[in-house]
Amino acid sequence: MTLIVSAIPVEAPGEVDEALHMAADEVAAGARLIEWRVDALAEDPSGLACILRLVRQSPVPCIVTIRGAAEGGGWRGEDTDRVSMLEAIGTATEGPRYIDFEQDCLQRSANLRQKVLLAVDHERQVRDLKTGLIESFHDFQTRPTDLVRRLSRMWEDPACAVAKVAWRARSVRDCLEAFELMRQAPKPTVVICMGGPGIASRVLSPKFGGFMCYAKAQGDMGTAPGQLTVPQLRQQYGFDRIGAATRVFGVVGWPIEHSLSPRLHNAGFASVGFDGCYVPWPVPPEWEHFKASLSAMLDFKPLDLAGLSVTLPHKEHLVRFVREAGGTLDEVAARCGAANTLLVRQGSLHAANTDAPAAVGALAEALSIPASASEALASGMEPSAVPAGPEAREAWKGLRVAVLGAGGAARAIATGLALAGGRVVVFNRTQSRAEAIERDLHRQPLPGGGQTHVVSGRASEIACGCFHAFVNATSLGMEGGPDAAASPLPDDVSLDDRVVVMDTVYRPRRTPLVREAASRGARVVDGTAMFVRQAQMQFSLFAGRAAPPGLFRSLVDEAVAP
Ligand code: NAP
């Protein structure tokens, strides 16, 4: 079992009471050990007394760490004074479970090393299970070239009770090396990749036998980049459920720090009792990064990679990757050249696009058309493999839909609507991209024969189209997007309650388009409708069963303000 350690920095004597309260909260949240980071406190004249009190009153066994400035910490004094302090702490009657000492500092002098060993007294460790030495190494810049040699030295050192190495991950591929080192470890070992690309190395440490996982205390900045809180580890990632057989999923994109998908899929896995864990895999925008990261993740068999959500800017890369690997594509992905879901089944790859059936399903519901996607949702089948029923096809045939935008989302939505039988006009700032969608879809007859009804339109013609529905697939109105205050729908478009206006942007939920369309009398569907559906469809592909009814909707409602 991997122990969650909550790291609590204490800088001054006046903070001790608050730190002890914080520790109680961390333990209530599920921390099994507390790390007292006392770099600055140790320099105070009453520092030793305060640290001994923290150790004595710690609600669970604890680690004492005094990190020097050269090691990324706050202690500015001499090494010898630091060692004397740790010696006093380590040999106290009620000592900590561990003291943490940097490998470099230990090796600077044989004398220092001797004193540290005295402080942790290896004999006493064995006899009383009392204070042990965590020998650690941190590189806050990159992966050091001598990483493995350093770790091997810790493994060979009989005085080292726990080996710990942490480095700033350069890419998600560093996590794979971390997993391999955890697997090989002959003694309790902690391997951490710091920073955003390293989150998987923390979350998945129980799968690979990591000894401890460091968390940041709630409300604190954390003591290293990429640390999660105890509730994030346990509730968002299901840390306690992760074991050797857990199958791994995740989201690949750039940026993805604010992705809701880990919260949704992990809650879904927990709710249906599926042994899976879903983590963020940030991969920079270029094809080469995507290809190298996915190849490495698939090649590292112990990862048990079973599926991925793939988001901006990699949806087209996914189709290219799966084609080059000889895998298969669903109907929408093959037609529009973009996919948002990767499935790994017995080593073979399959890419699917759940954006299109999700958008079509959300629109169909608002237009009261029976949707093929909902059948798929209920059955756990691949949504786009389910043909629209004749009744739905008839209904779509009589409807005109304006798709605003010609990026990846617009392309998928136009493809989904074309397959459903709808008549679509694509409008875009850059006209040539709208024309390319028309051209590409026209080249591919519908599965049962016949042409798609997708054309491109000129922006000046939006108001003349007598559309039954408008779908915004531009990034206008999106928080942090090109123009968060703008709406893509011109003022002269007449709206009433027979017209549906659907946004794909879901942050914020009430975009300028949603607000305007509602005030002008249209029936409005906000971007969360498509988001929830595409996630439910992905879940059913990942877990082979339907997402728990209402769960994703309630989590999205909680996370995205109404
Ligand atoms: P994309 O490929 O980057 O396309 C962006 C689109 O927005 C292009 O058509 C672009 O026009 C247009 N655009 C950007 N800035 C504009 C401006 N200032 N004025 C007018 N048009 C502008 O992005 P995407 O993948 O298609 O995503 C588009 C939106 O869909 C995003 O907001 C995304 O959040 C949303 N989406 C939502 C879901 C969901 O589940 N709800 C799923 C997927 C996507 P040009 O071609 O002229 O540049």
Question: Tokens representing 231?
Answer: 């509730």
Ligand 1 site, residue 407, Cβ cutoff 6 A: yes
pLDDT for res 472:
98
d(CA 361, CA 364): 5
- Ligand 1 binding pocket includes 421 (Cβ within 6 Å): no
Q: Can you tell me the distance from the alpha carbon of 82 to that of 41, in angstroms, rounded to the nearest whole number?
A: 12
Low-confidence ranges of the chain (pLDDT < 50): 126-127, 129, 373-387
- Residue 229 per-residue DSSP state: B
Strand order in the sheet with 33-37: 189-194, 160-168, 132-139, 98-102, 62-65, 33-37, 3-9, 212-216
> Amino acid letter at 492?
D
- The amino acid at residue 131 is T
Give yes or no for residue 477 CB within 6 A of ligand 1: no
Q: Is 279 exposed, middle or buried (0-12, 13-18, 19+ CB in 10 A)?
A: buried
- Of the candidates 404, 492, 416, 503, the residue with the CA atom closest to the CA atom of residue 452: 416
Q: What is the pLDDT of residue 123?
A: 52
| Cα 556 to Cα 534: distance, rounded to the nearest angstrom | 13
Q: What is the pLDDT of residue 331?
A: 92
| Chain position carrying tokens 């470890």 | 185
| Ligand 1 nearest-atom number relative to CA 406 | 9
Q: Identify the pLDDT of residue 369.
A: 87
How far apart CA 439 and CA 442 sit, in angstroms, is 5
HSE value, Cβ hemisphere, 13 Å, CA-based, for 366: 26
Instruction: Look at strands 423-427 and 33-37 and give their pairing.
Output: unpaired
Give the pairing type, strands 62-65 and 98-102: parallel
Q: Which residue among 475, 476, 511 is best mutated to probe the pocket of ligand 1, counting the most ligand atoms within 8 A of its Cβ?
A: 475
pLDDT at position 83 is 84
pLDDT at 465: 77
What integer pLDDT is reported at residue 302 of this predicted model?
A: 98
**Residue 531 in contact with ligand 1 by CB distance below 6 A:** yes
DSSP, residue by residue, 171-225: STHHHHHHHHHHHH-SS-EEEEEESGGGHHHHHTGGGGT-SEEEEEPTTS--SST
Please tell me the residue having the least CA distance from ligand 1 atom 22: 474
Please identify, in words, the CATH class of the domain defined by 379-532.
alpha beta
Three-state secondary structure call for residue 480: coil
| Domain residue ranges of the chain, discontinuous segments joined by + | 3-240, 249-354+535-559, 379-532
Q: Do domains 3-240 and 379-532 have the same CATH topology?
A: no
Residues 94-113 pLDDT 10s: 889 999 989 988 887 666 67
Rounded CA gap, 476 and 423, in Å?
24
Q: What is the DSSP letter of 272?
A: H
What pLDDT score was predicted for residue 380? 42
Is 308 in a helix, a strand, or coil?
strand
Name the CATH superfamily housing domain 249-354+535-559.
Leucine Dehydrogenase, chain A, domain 1 (3.40.50.10860)
Nearest CA to ligand 1 atom 4: 407
Which residues have CB under 8 Å from 428's CB, separation 6+?
404, 405, 406, 410, 434, 456, 474
Instruction: Provide the 8-state DSSP code for 68.
Output: B
Architecture of domain 3-240: Alpha-Beta Barrel (3.20)
Q: Is 409 in the pocket of ligand 1 (CB under 6 A)?
A: yes
Dist CA 134 CA 370 (whole Å): 62
Confidence (pLDDT) at 87: 81
- Rounded to whole angstroms, how far apart are CA atoms 478 and 504? 9
CA atoms within 13 A on the CB side of 55: 25
